[in-house]
Structure 1
Amino acid sequence: MMVRLPFDDEHAPLYSVGQVAGMLHVEQAFLRRLDEHDVVRPARSSGGQRRYTRHEIGDLQNAIQLVGEGMTLAAVRRIFELQHQVRELQEELARERATRRED
């Protein structure tokens, strides 16, 4: 059996602000602003350093695109909130449909 490594998990907080800023070609200060405005909130290391997951890096890419299209950080946060609600409702609907098929 193969051991699952942290970098195999898209939700493992592995990447520093500097690494992510370099990957996405943005300033570290911009990433900190996204955190401060609750757009993308990375985990913190024991030393208090931000650590991003691969999943969050995808969210950052989406946020950068939306900001580039003229959205404010508050608007991006709201879009992300609404997308999360839609995903939850889709999952709930799928469960409900599965339950009805079983009956």
Structure 2
Amino acid sequence: MARLPFDDEHAPLYSVGQVADMLDVEQAFLRRLDEHDVVSPARSTGGQRRYTRHEIGDLQDAIKLVGEGMSLAAVRRIFVLQQQVRDLREELARERAARREEQDG
């Protein structure tokens, strides 16, 4: 059976209005997060922002950090650093797996 778009957490399905309602924030706040490259949603053919479920999770994290007093620049930097940590962990796991294969092989 074919997967439906809403099964994919990376499918851009939700409009700015829908997301603002879900998260109880103003649409302007979501646009500011986009302008500051905190979360960069896809655009529809008409140019409207479309958010994925994954991005909505990131928005929840950003809202929490802003609520704790972080600036949007600080939130963006935190997100970048978190991604770098994830990338480094993946690289380390690959290196460890390759080393195990060399030792076993």
TM above 0.5, yes or no, is yes
Look up the match of 2:95: 96
Unaligned runs of 5+ in 2: none
Look up the match of 1:52: 51
Q: Could you tell me how far 1:43 is from its partner in structure 2?
A: 0.3
- 1:8 and 2:7 correspond: yes
CA distance in structure 1 between the partners assigned to 2:88 and 2:99 by the alignment: 16
Alignment TM-score, normalising by the size of structure 2: 0.97
**Residue identity in the other structure for 2:94:** R
Count of matched residue positions in the alignment of Structure 1 and Structure 2: 102
**What pairs with 1:10-89 in structure 2 (closer than 5 Å)?**
10-89=9-88
Alignment TM-score, normalising by the size of structure 1: 0.98
CA RMSD for the aligned pairs?
0.3
CA distance in structure 2 between the partners assigned to 1:94 and 1:45 by the alignment: 37
Q: Please tell me whether Structure 1 or Structure 2 has the larger radius of gyration of its CA atoms.
A: 2
Counterpart secondary structure, 1:10:
coil
Percent of aligned pairs with the same amino acid? 86
- Can you list the C-alpha shifts for 1:7-39, whole angstroms capped at 9, x where unaligned? 000000000000000000000000000000000
CA distance in structure 2 between the partners assigned to 1:9 and 1:39 by the alignment: 21
- Can you list the C-alpha shifts for 1:35-72, whole angstroms capped at 9, x where unaligned? 00000000000000000000000000000000000000
Unaligned runs of 5+ in 1: none
What stretches of structure 1 move > 6 A for 4+ residues in a row? Answer: none
